[in-house]
Structure formats: C-alpha cells, structure tokens
C-alpha cells in the first residue's frame, strides 16, 4: 500500500530533477540576471529595472519586436493550414506513400545551417530563383532577395515554412488516423462530397491538433534564429532582425548578459500571452 503511493512520485523524480536543473533553474536565473549588469565575467550588480528602461527606449528593440510579429503572422497561418492538406494527401492508402511521407519530412531533420546555406544559393543575385524567374520571363533584372529591406524577411520566412511543414504534417497525420472511419462512411452514404467531408468531419475532428500546431508554430516563429543568423545576419538595416537574434547579439557578441536577459524575459512574457490567447480562442472552437 505504502509503496503504491510512493511509486508515481519516484517515476516523476528524474524528470522533475532534469527539468528543474535545466529549465526552471535557468529561467529563474535569467529573471534575476535581467535585474543586474551581468557580463559573464565580472560579478553581477543589482541595478533594479535599469535594463528594462533601456530596453524600452531602444528603437532597435521595438523594430525587432515588430519584425518578430511580422514573422509570426507570416509563418503561422502557412504552418497551420498547408500541413493539413499535406497530411490528407499522404494519408491515402497508395503504393509508395511512405516515400512521400519521408520526402516531406526530410527538411525537418536537415540541419538548419546546411539548409540556410543552400537557400542562400537559391536567393542569391545569380542564384537559382532569379535564374528561373528570368528564364520564364517574369523578371528582366535579378531581385536581391536577401539584400533588399523589402524582401529579406519574407525570403527567410519561406525557409522556416519549408522546414516546418513536414513536422506539423506528421502531427496532423496522427490526428487523421485517430478519426473513426465510420464517420466518413456515414457521410458518404448521406451523399457528402470530398469538400463537405473535409470541412464537416476532418477539420472539426482535427481542431485539438490545430490548437497544438498553432501554439507550437507561433512559439517557433517567435524564437526564429538560425535561418536569420545564417542567411541575412539580421540585415540589411535590421530589416530581418528578430527579437531572438537581437538577444543573441546583445548576449554573446556584446556580453550584455543582463540586458539580453531582460529582452529574454519580455520574449517569455509575449510567448506566454500568445499561448494563453491561443488556448482560449481555439479551446472554444473545439467545442463547436
């Protein structure tokens, strides 16, 4: 009897210890650091909210915040909607469908740095994209995709979307396979066409998964870093610099660890609010 009560906690212990040491402890540490002038080398001094004051007066911080929102708004709908159709597509019982499932999944397991360099070649002035567009006569002059303030951030977004599609597709695929087949049979008997089945059965039944994907992709969108680091370095003129890139730069290029932590805390709060809104809004939809 006694051991029965203990057992579940013992199972939890390793997980709690690891999470505590590597997630919660650093999180609390970062909040503390944001109130100091820590530079990784000398001992931190407590400076109250000075970092936050400086942060809110920094134009670049607001610019990166705006870029982050543009990024999330651009990336999340694509990552929520397109994978549904991809999942439906690869959910068919066709010969060799396994190949397509893996093919769509390959970008997910490709190193982002490698993918970033490859995409860099695609976007270059003399790269693949400009070449094709000129070949088919859409362009007469190459577009500097990554060096124009108008296009840089959107060009990088495409890479994030390309890389994420397969991952979310798998989540939806798991969702699709959990939908009872009888529902479709009944709908077919009632004369529902493919589109009706999609909108009346598939999508409503997938709502919990849509919620997960929305939260995950918006968090991922807010945390975007590697693509930008590899492809544009935040440029030109900070037009593709997002909040995480800004934090990285302040922390590791300039050793302003306290200041960067303050920006990190702001990012944490934003992500939290975002997730809460998502759960509230989508949670309601689920009951429809």
Partner 1 sequence: MNKKNGFIALLLLAVMMFVAACGNEKDGSTEPEKDTGKETSGEETTIEFWTMQLQPTFTDYIQGVIDDFEEQNPTIKIDWLDVPAADLDKKILTAVSSKTAPDVVNLNPTFASRLASLDALVNMDEALTDEQKALYVKGAWEANELNGNIFAIPWYLSTEVTLNNKAIYEEAGLDPESPATTYEEAKEYSKIIKEKTGKYGYYPSLDLSLVLQHMVVMGAELTNEDRTKAAFNTAEGLKAFEYFTELYEEKLIPSDALTGDQRNTIDMYQAGQVAFFAGSQFISQIKENAPDIYENTLPSGAITGDSGKKTMSVQNIVVPSQSKNQEAAVQFALFLTNAENQLAFTKLTPILPSALEALDDPYFTEVGEDAEPSDLVRIKSAEQLVDAELLVPPMENYDELREAMLDALSESMLGNKTPQEALDQAEEAWNAILSK
Please give the residue ranges that form the binding site for partner 1 (CB under 8 A): 5-6, 9, 12-13, 16-17, 20-21, 25, 39-42, 124-126, 142, 144, 146-149, 152, 231-233, 235-238, 249, 252-255
Radius of gyration of the chain (CA): 23
* Smallest separation (angstroms) from partner 1 to the CB of 39: 6
State the Cα angle at 198 between 195 and 202, rounded to 5°. Answer: 175
Token representation of residue 137:
């006569």
* Smallest separation (angstroms) from partner 1 to the CB of 50: 14
Q: Would you say 213 and 79 are in contact if contact means Cβ atoms under 8 Å apart?
A: yes
* Smallest separation (angstroms) from partner 1 to the CB of 160: 17
HSE, side-chain direction, 13 A CA sphere, residue 150: 2
80 versus 152: smaller Cβ distance to partner 1: 152
* Smallest separation (angstroms) from partner 1 to the CB of 25: 5
190 versus 253: smaller Cβ distance to partner 1: 253
* Smallest separation (angstroms) from partner 1 to the CB of 235: 4
Q: Would you say 245 and 229 are in contact if contact means Cβ atoms under 8 Å apart?
A: yes
Residue 198: helix, strand or coil by DSSP? helix
37 versus 183: smaller Cβ distance to partner 1: 37
* Smallest separation (angstroms) from partner 1 to the CB of 237: 5
152 versus 262: smaller Cβ distance to partner 1: 152
101 versus 238: smaller Cβ distance to partner 1: 238
9 versus 195: smaller Cβ distance to partner 1: 9
Token representation of residue 215:
């939260």
51 versus 278: smaller Cβ distance to partner 1: 51
Helices (H), the chain: 2-19, 25-33, 50-57, 59-90, 97-109, 112-123, 128-135, 152-177, 181-189, 194-197, 203-222, 226-231, 243-248, 257-286
CA distance 199 to 184: 12
Burial 14-36 (b: 16+ CB within 10 A, else e): eeeeeeeeeeeeeeeebeebbbb
DSSP β-bridge partners for residue 143 = none
Cα torsion 91, 97, 103, 106: sign: positive
* Smallest separation (angstroms) from partner 1 to the CB of 203: 40
CA distance 64 to 71: 10
């Amino acid at each position: 009897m006694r051991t029965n009560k203990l057992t579940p906690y013992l199972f939890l212990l390793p997980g709690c210890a690891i999470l505590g040491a590597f997630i919660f402890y650093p999180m609390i540490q970062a909040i503390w650091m944001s109130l100091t002038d820590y530079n990784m080398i000398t001992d931190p001094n407590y400076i109250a909210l000075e970092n936050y004051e400086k942060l809110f007066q920094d134009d670049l911080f607001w610019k990166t915040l705006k870029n982050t929102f543009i990024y999330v708004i651009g990336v999340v709908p694509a990552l929520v909607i397109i994978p549904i159709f991809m999942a439906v597509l690869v959910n068919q019982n066709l010969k060799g469908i396994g190949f397509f499932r893996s093919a769509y999944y390959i970008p997910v397991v490709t190193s982002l740095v490698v993918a970033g360099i490859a995409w860099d070649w695609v976007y270059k002035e003399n790269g693949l994209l400009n070449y094709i567009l000129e070949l088919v006569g859409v362009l007469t002059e190459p577009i500097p995709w990554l060096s124009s303030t108008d296009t840089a951030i959107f060009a990088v977004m495409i890479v994030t979307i390309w890389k994420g599609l397969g991952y979310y597709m798998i989540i939806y695929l798991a969702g699709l396979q959990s939908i009872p087949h009888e529902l479709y049979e009944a709908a077919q008997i009632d004369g529902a066409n493919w589109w009706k089945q999609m909108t009346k059965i598939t999508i409503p039944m997938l709502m919990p998964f849509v919620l997960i994907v929305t939260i995950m992709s918006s968090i991922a969108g807010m945390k975007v870093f590697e693509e930008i680091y590899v492809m544009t370095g935040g440029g030109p003129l900070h037009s593709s610099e997002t909040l995480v890139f800004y934090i990285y730069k302040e922390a590791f290029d300039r050793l302003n660890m306290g200041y960067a932590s303050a920006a990190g805390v702001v990012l944490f709060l934003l992500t939290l609010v975002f997730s809460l809104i998502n759960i509230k809004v989508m949670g309601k939809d689920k009951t429809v």
